[in-house]
Amino acid sequence: MYKILKKEYLANNIWLMDIEAPRVAKSCQPGQFVIVKMDEKGERIPLTVCDYDREKGTVTIVFQIVGASTQEMAEYEVGEAFMDFVGPLGCQSELLELTKEELKKEKLLFVCGGVGTAPVYPQVKWMKEHGIDVDVIIGARTKDILILEEPMKEIAANLYIATDDGSYGFKGNACDQINELVKNQGKEYTRVVAIGPMIMMKFVALLTKELNIPTIVSMNPIMVDGTGMCGACRLQVGDEVKFACVDGPEFNGHLVDFDQAMLRQRMYKTEEGRAMLRLQEGDSHHGGCGHCNG
Amino acid sequence: MEVDVLKRVPVREQEPKVRAANFEEVCLGYNKEEAMAEATRCIQCKNPQCVKGCPVNIDIPGFIKELAEGNVGESYQVISRYSALPAVCGRVCPQETQCEAKCIRGIKGDAVSIGKLERFVADAAAEEGIQPEKAESMNGKKVAVIGSGPAGLTCAGDLAKLGYDVTIFEALHKAGGVLSYGIPEFRLPKDRVVDREVENVKSLGVKIETNVVIGKATTVDELLNEEGFDAVFIGSGAGLPKFMGIPGENANGVFSANEYLTRSNLMKAFDDTYATPISAGKKVAVVGGGNVAMDAARTALRLGAKVHIVYRRSEEELPARVEEVHHAKEEGIIFDLLTNPVEIHVDDDGNVTGMTCIRMELGEPDDSGRRRPVEVPGSEFTLEVDTVIMSLGTSPNPLISSTTEGLETNKWKCIVAEEENGQTSKAKVYAGGDAVTGAATVILAMGAGKAAAKGIHELLSE
């Protein structure tokens, strides 16, 4: 069993938890992910590593309530435990493969959206610890749903907040903010790392292709085992079919077929919605979901 | 009970129509009376050929003799000296090409039903709470086993019986490997058979640590150098699914057999009280002709689909066991033989709407000795399906070989290991099962696990 040592509400149905998992904490790296299975009958849920403490043996996860399973997960309290917690899975961030000299030459821009801000955090922290200054954009629909602004501010050289409705920071989405920095302020970046909703990553990648800036994205498709066994997480990347769990989760954003990936993401949407309704309404659910014949 | 020595005692099965709608075991097995009657058909050869046909060389006449006399416990102990998984082997071994193929009775009449007898002994022993005999003392040496499938469980069980302190590391949340995620409930019940045999291996003193991915959480080198293991056995299986590379293969509704079966078997998606979903499909095509294809097809059928098997060669070349093909046909699976997929049709929402196939004919024999299938020009047709399950075989996961220094692999990414003792190119590291051979059978993996246990024992008792 893997004990929950800390639980914190961030915003917008997004929760943070520290989990006691010494083997994972000992070896995980920014960019990798874990799989959580809450109990005997639970799903295997992939979540990106958001922080780790090798000495305490803890791993931080951040998740947003999007369906029945994540709803149930948010109901776990400190002191309770998840039945299964496996990792680290996938490859570490490819930036970690560069030498310090190579990294020094890079001008990095991290672009995060929504819950994707969480997996960006350990990467920026790692850069800071290795003496590399990086810029960060956090994009959100509105001010109230921003997460991790304060911790990110402490480690980023420049933190830019962009809100669609202009309620905080720059008015516009992440792409508008990139345009503002690159086109209007004349900032130069050698590489962009974008992590967030697929639709955001798609448009960031389209823009950076135009701007000719190499771009890494982190994919979080549907998975079952997370070790390369099932192929549920396959993606079209250029001419090749890749498995996000073992070949990724990071890929060249200019080569990923986002439209296909988004269709694949919707695979179980109806079933998830159904499970969500069952959970919310319990025995009082008598139809209306379109699937229960009620 | 009267016995015709030329004919085997028939085994009871669920009616095809009934079982096509449930996940209960197809074959019901012998009761004690039937098993003892069948056991009397064994003529106790002085030079038993059946033993030579068994990859783990079980003393077959030995256990049958005890059974014929009604001594279930003694019979079980004879088997468990050779095999850690008799209830599994009695169900999924291809006995017809192994022990039973060599049975003298088979020359004139039916071979002795060795598999069904083994199954009876294992099940009856479990009901009586009989467990395998533990080592009398520990020798203080530690062995790590990677993977809790048939190879790993066998290797671990054999070493534990010799007094080794064995820890199995399993990547998934449940032990059993392919026995848990791959082979369906209706052929190999999980609680009643797999979990119980895993418990038997644990009763020998073997520890099982789940949720540990070797090559990620820790490495083979770390196990040897930091965690104090004296030797490592790699039985990590052949997990990576193959796809065809045809258009439309990434559509929603195209699955690897691994995914479809894992959702149903390991995650129990067929049971509504489990959270993992499965898109079962209404009209399903399973591409391939092996045991895994039969398992996927019969799972889809039980989930309510009309199912086609699409296989590019003819019935004669089907790699699946005859018994599985027979069961599949009885249950109503449609076989489209000499047929190969060309393209999968996809609608705007990314869902499968059909599959274009082409008819094949058999030409000259290829490298495998089987006649090569060749396309019949202009014979394309469309199969209307909403789900396609690719069951084209698997290849080994490079996770361990790529993170272990000095571990040699061949061009198929399989780990190179000696057949007689499992020794790899790296000192203190042994391997066996599908990780070495590529996808094969449960019993061959067990044989390799057994050979490696012997190799490790020879190394560590020097």
The reply to whether residue A41 touches residue B399, judged by beta carbons under 8 angstroms, is no
Q: Give the model's pLDDT for residue A274.
A: 56
| C-alpha distances in Å from residue B121, one per residue of A66, B64, B65, B283 | 50, 9, 12, 40
Helix (H) or strand (E) holding B38: helix B32-39
Give residue-wise pLDDT tens across range B11-30: 999 999 999 999 999 999 99
| Mutation target among B169, B213, B219 for the A interface, most CBs of A within 10 A | B213
Which residues in chain A are closer than 8 Å to B211, comparing Cβ atoms?
A: 84-86
Q: Give the model's pLDDT for residue A275.
A: 62
The complex's ipTM works out to 0.88
* B248, closest residue in chain A (CA to CA): A260
The reply to whether residue A227 touches residue B213, judged by beta carbons under 8 angstroms, is yes
Comparing A269 with B385, which gets the higher pLDDT? B385
Report the pLDDT averaged over residues B406-421: 93
Which of the 8 DSSP states describes residue B227? S
Q: Give the model's pLDDT for residue A266.
A: 83
Give residue-wise pLDDT tens across range A56-109: 999 999 999 888 889 999 999 999 999 999 999 999 998 998 888 899 999 999
10 Å CB burial of residue A257 (0-12, 13-18, 19+) is middle
10 Å CB burial of residue A31 (0-12, 13-18, 19+) is buried
Q: Tell me: cis bond preceding A30? Omega within 30 of 0 counts.
A: no
3-state secondary structure chain A: CEEEEEEEEEECCEEEEEEECHHHHHHCCCCCEEEEECCCCCCCEEEEEEEEECCCCEEEEEEECCCHHHHHHHCCCCCCEECEEEEEECCCCHHHHCCHHHHHHCCEEEEEEHHHHHHHHHHHHHHHHCCCCCEEEEEECCHHHCCCHHHHHHHCCEEEEEECCCCCCEECCHHHHHHHHHHHCCCCCCEEEEECCHHHHHHHHHHHHHCCCCEEEECCCCCCCCCCCCCCCEEEECCEEEEHHHHCCEEECCCECHHHHHHHHCCCHHHHHHHHHHHHHHHHCCCCCCCCCC
Among B144, B133, B139, which residue's Cα sits nearest to residue B163?
B139
CA distance B104 to chain A (A): 42
Amino acid at B169: F
Q: For chain A, how big is the Rg over CA atoms in Å?
A: 19
Q: Which residues of B47-64 are buried (b: 16+ CB within 10 A; e: fewer)?
A: ebebbebbbbebbbbbbb
> With the CA atoms of B167, B266, A218 and A173 taken in that order, what torsion angle do they form, in degrees rounded to the nearest 10?
-140
Q: How far is CA B130 from the centre of its chain?
A: 24
Asked if A136 and A156 count as a contact pair (C-beta separation under 8 A), the reply is: yes
Check pLDDT > 80 for residue B216: yes
Whose structure tokens read 């070949």?
A: A247
Amino acid at A180: E
Whose structure tokens read 């057949």?
A: B419
The reply to whether residue B216 touches residue A87, judged by beta carbons under 8 angstroms, is yes
Joined tokens for residue B271: 């049971």
Check pLDDT > 50 for residue B377: yes
The reply to whether residue A27 touches residue B218, judged by beta carbons under 8 angstroms, is yes
C-alpha B338/C-alpha A135 separation (Å) is 59
Give residue-wise pLDDT tens across range B258-302: 999 999 999 999 888 999 988 889 999 999 999 999 999 999 999
C-alpha B430/C-alpha B422 separation (Å) is 5
Whose structure tokens read 């190119």?
A: B425
C-alpha A43/C-alpha B277 separation (Å) is 9
Q: State the number of CA atoms in the 13 A half-sphere of B374 facing the CB.
A: 7
10 Å CB burial of residue B40 (0-12, 13-18, 19+) is middle
CB-nearest to B252 from A85, A86, A263 is: A263
Strands A158-163, A135-140: pairing kind: parallel
CA distance A106 to chain B (A): 28
| C-alpha distances in Å from residue B168, one per residue of A171, B52, B154 | 55, 29, 11
Q: What is the pTM of this model?
A: 0.90
Q: Give the model's pLDDT for residue A286.
A: 44
CB-nearest to A228 from B240, B252, B277 is: B240
Percentage of residues in chain B having pLDDT higher than 90 = 83
CB-nearest to B279 from A24, A42, A268 is: A268
* CA dihedral (B359, B362, B366, B368) positive or negative: positive
C-alpha A257/C-alpha A263 separation (Å) is 10
CB-nearest to A84 from B173, B243, B250 is: B173
Q: pLDDT 10s digit of each residue in chain A, 294 long?
A: 999 999 999 988 899 999 999 999 999 999 999 999 999 999 999 998 999 999 999 999 999 988 888 999 999 999 999 999 999 999 999 899 888 889 999 999 999 998 899 999 999 999 999 999 999 999 998 998 899 999 999 999 999 999 999 999 999 999 999 999 999 999 999 999 999 999 999 999 999 999 999 999 999 899 999 999 999 999 999 999 999 999 989 999 999 999 999 999 888 876 655 565 555 544 444 443 334 433
Which of the 8 DSSP states describes residue B217? T
Joined tokens for residue A260: 């296909």
Among A145, A167, A149, which residue's Cα sits nearest to residue A159?
A149
* CA dihedral (B2, B7, B13, B18) positive or negative: negative
The reply to whether residue B279 touches residue A271, judged by beta carbons under 8 angstroms, is yes
The reply to whether residue B216 touches residue A27, judged by beta carbons under 8 angstroms, is yes
Give residue-wise pLDDT tens across range A31-40: 999 999 999 9
Give residue-wise pLDDT tens across range B70-123: 999 999 999 999 988 999 999 988 899 999 999 999 999 999 999 999 999 999
Report the pLDDT averaged over residues B435-446: 90
> Please, what is the angle between helix B114-127 and helix B60-68, to 10°?
60
Tally of helices (H runs) and strands (E runs) in chain B: 17, 18
Asked if B78 and B65 count as a contact pair (C-beta separation under 8 A), the reply is: no
C-alpha A201/C-alpha A194 separation (Å) is 6
Report the pLDDT averaged over residues B180-192: 93
